[in-house]
Every structure is written in structure tokens, then in C-alpha cells.
Structure 1
């Protein structure tokens, strides 16, 4: 979940104000936890229903059992699409899949933007397109890893790189806190809500990978175990985000750049920080693009079977690499024409993640648990959905109707 959005959080607090921004981070953390728990509840309910249906078929001696989540045409969809389809319907499921693909591609695009800027400092003579081509090839090869249990080691290595960000903030940010005044600090600026919302939602959102992780951890029968994972993750992320966002903005005030790394003076520590963050984003990029690879593999098994197993045939290594190369080509191409990190982060967070992380879970939960939700809880869920819709609309429009600079 922790990715490039954190580097834009100081700039987001600069736009919205430090007091309202920090308070808003707490609100969004709670909203995301609630939405993820709604999504988990929907997946567990379908797991229970499918388990009952399978047992009934086994009892009557039916030979054609339908695996949980598999469609009639043999395609095994991603878990988010499966829940959306069973809860609301196929049209809603397709909308969720499109939003999920767009969101994850946007995340990887933001990663590639930051990594490219970092790489060009090392090799300023190299064309930007050549750097992106090298990154595209690297992500395509890394995408051949099977399963999140293997990919997660890359994410763990990437998270350790944030120690350099903390070290740089302590080294360069803390002295500025003591030296500078607070005259140019904004406590609350409602005109910057849209920018803050999109970036903060982007930073907090883990909705794209939460269901694959839930299933690979084998905790569908014990969702309370995964609840503890979610709560711990979001509490840790909130503290980390407040530290980086708050210290970053208060230290640099109106001079805060849209990527906090650009505020650090030239030094060995700054160099180590930028290089480590670039490495982290490359590692995390493999995790973020994993759901799209899963979708592509499912379509390939169904449409282009490589053996006699029909839709469930194994996808060859060469075909898998070709699929990953095609998928990774999309964010690499977008990064070529959209190098501004804060704009990419804001648009993806406000549009895709607001829909996937707030609106869709509320809609699916209300549909699956329609007869069990008390009136008071239903009103709160409608209020949550309205907040997601309004925040998403304002955040999506902000880059188009507001000047990026004060």
C-alpha cells in the first residue's frame, strides 16, 4: 500500500493546510479500513455461499462442480470482479475491472515517473524514452514471478528503503523546523481539498491487492485474522504519513515541492534517498501490476489455450512474458507524455481509487446484506458513499479547473 503517494503528501498538506490535512488523513484511514472490511465481508459471504453450493452438489453426486469464482466460459476473474459480479451484476463488475486496471496502471505510471527522474540525474545524457524502455523491460521480466508470496519479498525490500526518507527528513527537515517561522504555513485552505483528497486517497489505497492477498493468505474462513492485518497496516501507514507529510510541509512551507525529495539539498544522503526510493518503486511496481497480470493470464487461458485443458490450460512462459510486456507498455507510454507526478497521483486517487475504495464496496455490501443492515447503519453507508462520490468528483476536476501553482 505504501508507495509514491507518500512523496506528494507534504505538497498535498501545503494545498489543503496542515491542520485539516492531518485530520483528514485520519478520516481517510478510517474510511479505507471500513471499506476494506465491507469488501472482505462480501468476499467471505460469497465464500460461504459457494461452499454450501459445492457441498450440495457433492451430496447429490453431481460431476460438474463449478469452482469458486470460475465463470461458465472457463475464465477465473480477479477476486474483486468476482465479488462485484455476484453482488451487483456483470455490468457493475466490468466497471470495477476497468477502474481496477486503470488504477493499478496509474500507480505504476507514477512509480515510473519518479524512477525516471531519478535515473536521469545519474545518466543525464540518456534520453528519457530510453530510460523508460529499460524500466519497461525490467518490469516485464520481474512480472514472471508467480504468486504474491514471491512478489511480497520485493515489497518488503522496497519498504526498507523508506528508512532513507526518514533519515533525510531528520537530517534536513528538523533543523528547518527550528530555524523558520510559521508565517507561510496554511492551517486550513478549502480550495485545496481536491488536490489533497486525490493524493491522500492514492497514498492510503490498498484496495487493488487486498483480495488477492486475502485469498493467498488462506484466511477466508477466519476473516478476523486478516482484519488484524488491515488494522495494523493502516495504523502504521497513518503514523508514517503524518510524520512525512507533516514534517515535510512544516519544514519547507510554501517552498514544498510536489515530490519532497526535490526539497533535499545535494548530498550523499539525498543521493542515497532518491536511489533507494527509485529501487523501492521498482520493487513495489511488480506488486501493483500483479492484479492486471492475473487478469491477462485468465483471459489468455480462456481465449488462447496452449494445451488440451481448455480454458484452464497452462500459459507458457513465452506467452506470459509477452502479456506482461504488453501490459507494462501502457504505464510506460503514459509516463512518456505525463511526467508530472502530483497530477497523475491526484487523478488516479480521486477517480479510480475513490470508486474502488469507497463507492463500490458500499454498493456491494448494501446489495449482499440488504436484509441484514439496520436502518441507522444503512444511512451511514449512504453517507460514506456520498463522501466518496463528492470527494472523487472534486479531486478529479481539480487539475483541470484550478491553477496548480498558488
Structure 2
């Protein structure tokens, strides 16, 4: 493989220039890069897998993901100084050409699929709130904006959007938890009837799948590390982020399941009672038979999340083999 120049950015592995993001900015970028729509399905996953299995699954998944991300950083540090490598190159060193093609294909599918999923989520939400435009119209309006924003080559430049997205995440989750706690303690729910483990083995893989989905963002690891002004602090910042996220995920899923039990729906916001907070976080469709999740706060966070999905694709380039 021939390099295109030492000054060029390495796709997905980050750039060689010194980053400008502070530890606080990187912490915010990590949170937005990981938190996605999966968190809304945690209470239902706890219902299917059981509260004990769900708790253990989320903790194990969080620890495993954090460990793998740290290992990835260590692998990059062991590369020969000045030698640029892509994920495909690393796959080639491990498994030859099949490893290269498989690695690049999986990364491409993962991030393209993620971009489509988030655009669809945002488009459906906007279409349900603003009935004057169709879902397709919103998608056509969003794509040019996303393309222009994808030209931003550094995560530190997105820090203001990150802070706003984190505030939206915290506000939306807090509103859902507030309603869950009120139901849990106000209605006299029998916590003893909640299952600790799934009665069937099929519930465990489902819970594990949702837990893994909640900790997405692995492909952003080195871009996040490379954006830092002090890269040696990345390990500490990453561990702090995962400790906080894992705790929030466990509490969110556990409280949601304990509050509603077998009545827990697949999307957490669908369990919200009618009130001021539920109107902020969710808006049911007029057709109850086609009721969908529609979040006013979460949509803002997920638009920012979509940028994090697009960035690795925007940094890719054609390689001569």
C-alpha cells in the first residue's frame, strides 16, 4: 500500500496533528457518541431478560466495551511512528486480504446503517410534530445539512452542539425516570413480582443485544482520542464516561421495569402517562393503531449523534493497494 503523504489524516484512526479538545469537551463527545436510541429499550430488555440478568448484562457489556476501546488505543500507540494504517490494514495483518475486506465492509455497513437509522428516526419525529410536511420532505431537507456538517474535520468544533445534545439527553431521561419513580412509589407496585431472571433462555440473548446496542460508538474511539489536547488523559476520561453511563443505564432500565412490570412497553416513552412532561418527551400519533415513539428532546440529541456517525465516513479516503 502506498501512502498519500504523512500529513494526510488517517481514516478512522484519527489524525497525526495535535488535538484541541479539553477533557470536558471530550467527555461530552464520548457521551453523545455512545448514547443512542437503544437506551429507550432498556426497561423492556429488563422485562424480557429479568432485572438481575439485565443489570449484570449492562455492567458486563459496559466493562467489555470500555476495555476493548482502551485496547484499541494501545494498539494504535504500538504502531510504527509515522506509519499510517487504517482498520483495513490492521485486518490485513491479522487475516490477509479477507481480513481487510471484511473489516472495511463491516465498518462501512455499520456507519451507513447507523446514519440511515438516525435520519429515519429524526424524520419520523419531525413529521409527527409538524404535520404540514411529509417524512420524505424532512429527509430531503436534513441530508444537505448533514452533508455540510460532515465537512467539519474535528470533534472539538462540535463541542457546543455536544453540550446542547447532552443537556437534551439528561432532560429527557430525567423526565422518564421522574414518571417511573412516581408510578413505582405512588401506585404501590409489587416489586416482589418482578422477575430476576427470564423464564426462557431466549430472553437472555435479547437483553444482551439491547445492552450491546446501548454502548455503540466503538468506531469513534481513536477519533475521540486523537481530538484531545492531552491524549494521556483519554483513559481516565473514557473510564469516567463509562462508569457514569453504566450507572445511568442500569438505573434507567431497572426503575422502568420495576415501575411497570409486565406492562413495560418496548419503548420507554410509550409508558409515560399524559401530562406536561410526557408531552415534552413524547407525542403519540393520532392513529393509536400505529402509535410510534416521538421525542422532542431526544431528536436534538440524535441529530448530533448522527454527526458522530458520519464523521468516520467523511474521514475515509481511497487507498492504493
TM over 0.5: yes
Superposed displacement of residue 4, structure 1 = 1.5
8 Å Cα contact 2:53-2:204 kept in structure 1: no
1:134-173 correspondence runs (5 A):
134-173=141-180
Of 29, 44, 56, which aligns to 2:77?
A: 44
Q: Give structure 1 regions of 4+ aligned residues with deviation exceeding 4 angstroms.
A: none
Q: What CA deviation, in whole Å up to 9, does each residue of 1:165-219 have, x standing for no partner?
A: 2331243111111212236633211321222122211111331100111223266
**Structure 2 residue matching 1:126: 3-state secondary structure:** coil
1:23 equivalent to 2:66? Answer no
- CA spacing shift, 1:238–1:100, aligned 2, 3 Å: same
1:288-327 correspondence runs (5 A):
288-295=309-316, 298-299=317-318
8 Å Cα contact 2:70-2:235 kept in structure 1: yes
8 Å Cα contact 2:43-2:252 kept in structure 1: yes
Gaps of 5+ in 2: 1-33, 282-294
Distance (Å, rounded) in 2 between the aligned partners of 1:258 and 1:125: 29
In the other structure, the counterpart of 1:242 is: 250
In the other structure, the counterpart of 2:202 is: 191
Superposed displacement of residue 45, structure 1 = 0.8
Distance (Å, rounded) in 2 between the aligned partners of 1:121 and 1:98: 34
In the other structure, the counterpart of 2:83 is: 68
In the other structure, the counterpart of 2:290 is: none
Q: CA RMSD in A?
A: 2.3
8 Å Cα contact 1:152-1:287 kept in structure 2: no
8 Å Cα contact 1:168-1:264 kept in structure 2: no
- CA spacing shift, 1:233–1:90, aligned 2, 3 Å: farther
In the other structure, the counterpart of 2:261 is: 253
Distance (Å, rounded) in 2 between the aligned partners of 1:249 and 1:2: 20
Superposed displacement of residue 231, structure 1 = 0.9
8 Å Cα contact 1:43-1:83 kept in structure 2: no
- CA spacing shift, 1:24–1:259, aligned 2, 3 Å: same
Distance (Å, rounded) in 1 between the aligned partners of 2:84 and 2:93: 9
- CA spacing shift, 1:256–1:131, aligned 2, 3 Å: farther
Superposed displacement of residue 137, structure 1 = 3.0
Distance (Å, rounded) in 2 between the aligned partners of 1:86 and 1:233: 32
Superposed displacement of residue 272, structure 1 = 2.6
**Structure 1 residue matching 2:78: 3-state secondary structure:** helix
Distance (Å, rounded) in 1 between the aligned partners of 2:308 and 2:280: 23
- CA spacing shift, 1:253–1:197, aligned 2, 3 Å: same
Superposed displacement of residue 90, structure 1 = 4.0
- CA spacing shift, 1:282–1:26, aligned 2, 3 Å: same
8 Å Cα contact 1:11-1:249 kept in structure 2: yes
Which TM-score applies when normalising by structure 2? Answer: 0.76
Q: What CA deviation, in whole Å up to 9, does each residue of 1:226-248 have, x standing for no partner?
A: 21122111101101111211112
8 Å Cα contact 1:22-1:242 kept in structure 2: yes
Q: What CA deviation, in whole Å up to 9, does each residue of 1:62-99 have, x standing for no partner?
A: xxxxx5216xxxxxx4xx33443445544313312221
Distance (Å, rounded) in 2 between the aligned partners of 1:292 and 1:41: 23
In the other structure, the counterpart of 1:286 is: 307
8 Å Cα contact 1:81-1:94 kept in structure 2: yes
Of 115, 125, 130, which aligns to 1:118?
A: 125
Q: Higher RCO, 1 or 2 (CA under 8 Å, sep at least 6)?
A: 2
> Is the deviation greater in 190-199 or in 277-286?
190-199
1:200-219 correspondence runs (5 A):
200-217=211-228
1:97 equivalent to 2:104? Answer yes
- CA spacing shift, 1:152–1:68, aligned 2, 3 Å: farther
Q: What CA deviation, in whole Å up to 9, does each residue of 1:102-135 have, x standing for no partner?
A: 2223333332343234223312353322233333
Distance (Å, rounded) in 2 between the aligned partners of 1:271 and 1:256: 19
In the other structure, the counterpart of 1:177 is: 184
